Chains A and B, each alone.
Chain A
Amino acid sequence: AQTVTQSQPEMSVQEAETVTLSCTYDTSENNYYLFWYKQPPSRQMILVIRQEAYKQQNATENRFSVNFQKAAKSFSLKISDSQLGDTAMYFCAFMKQFTQGGSEKLVFGKGTKLTVNP
């Protein structure tokens, strides 16, 4: 079974600075997908960024980027120029590649609570 570990329960950063959230996972799969979701106080889950394991290039979305190390099974999220609106819980998630007749599900880490201070 796949597992996802987020070792930082809470982090804080000053506005405009850069912060990195860590995520490691355990799987025997070779093809899979990784995601970062953001959950602000409004409770809604919002997709931040996703990475396909077969791609060596790290995904980027504006101020958000990942450092994907497949051999180390590591998938960290870097937030540049942090903004007050980035304050939220951040969840790392894993999904194995769909196969005919196989199951489809996201496995989530326990989350990291990020606070951006003015």
Chain B
Amino acid sequence: NAGVTQTPKFQVLKTGQSMTLQCAQDMNHEYMSWYRQDPGMGLRLIHYSVGAGITDQGEVPNGYNVSRSTTEDFPLRLLSAAPSQTSVYFCASRTGQGPLLYNSPLHFGNGTRLTVT
């Protein structure tokens, strides 16, 4: 039972490079999301998805793209990395929609530490 798996755990990019942070869950969760965590800022929502083929923006979406072609996977793409995107990125998922949603805890991956130089 792997839960939410994020790869890679660490990544260093140069300004302007692109990359994709991978997130996969094996719990058949409908809801998946990406957060970034910065010192003194808590966690901020980047993008989220309520099911395959459906994505929406969170609080800080600029500079990031997502897609949800399958229930299991929710990759986060940085098209042109900037130093301001240096952060720890968390993927999270949960089951249920509608009134059942609150009853399901959010499962987090172990995070990806990204440094952009």
A residues with a Cβ closer than 8 A to B are: 4, 6, 9, 33, 35, 42-47, 50, 52, 91, 95, 97-98, 100, 103-111
Contact = CB atoms under 8 A, between A and B. Distances in A.
B56 A103 contact: yes
10 contacts: A42-B110, A44-B111, A91-B42, A98-B97, A100-B98, A105-B45, A105-B48, A105-B59, A108-B42, A110-B40
B58 A45 contact: no
Contacts of A35: 106
Interface of B: 31, 33, 35, 40-45, 48, 50, 56, 58-59, 88, 90, 92, 97-99, 101-102, 105-106, 108, 110-111
Given A98-B98, A103-B56, A105-B33, A45 B42 contact: no
Nearest to B100: A98
Contacts of A104: 31, 48, 50, 101
Would you call the interface of chain A mostly helix, strand, loop, or mixed?
loop
A95 B102 contact: yes
A45 B90 contact: yes
B1 to A, nearest CB: 15
A47 B106 contact: yes
A35 B88 CA distance: 21
A106 B92 CA distance: 11
A108 B102 contact: no
Contacts of B41: 110
B35 to A, nearest CB: 8
Nearest to A51: B102
Given A108-B43, A109-B42, A45 B108 contact: yes
Contacts of A110: 40-42
Nearest to B50: A104
Contacts of A44: 108, 110-111
Given A106-B43, A108-B42, 13 more contacts: A6-B42, A43-B111, A44-B110, A45-B90, A50-B102, A95-B102, A97-B102, A103-B56, A104-B50, A105-B48, A105-B59, A108-B35, A110-B42
B28 to A, nearest CB: 17
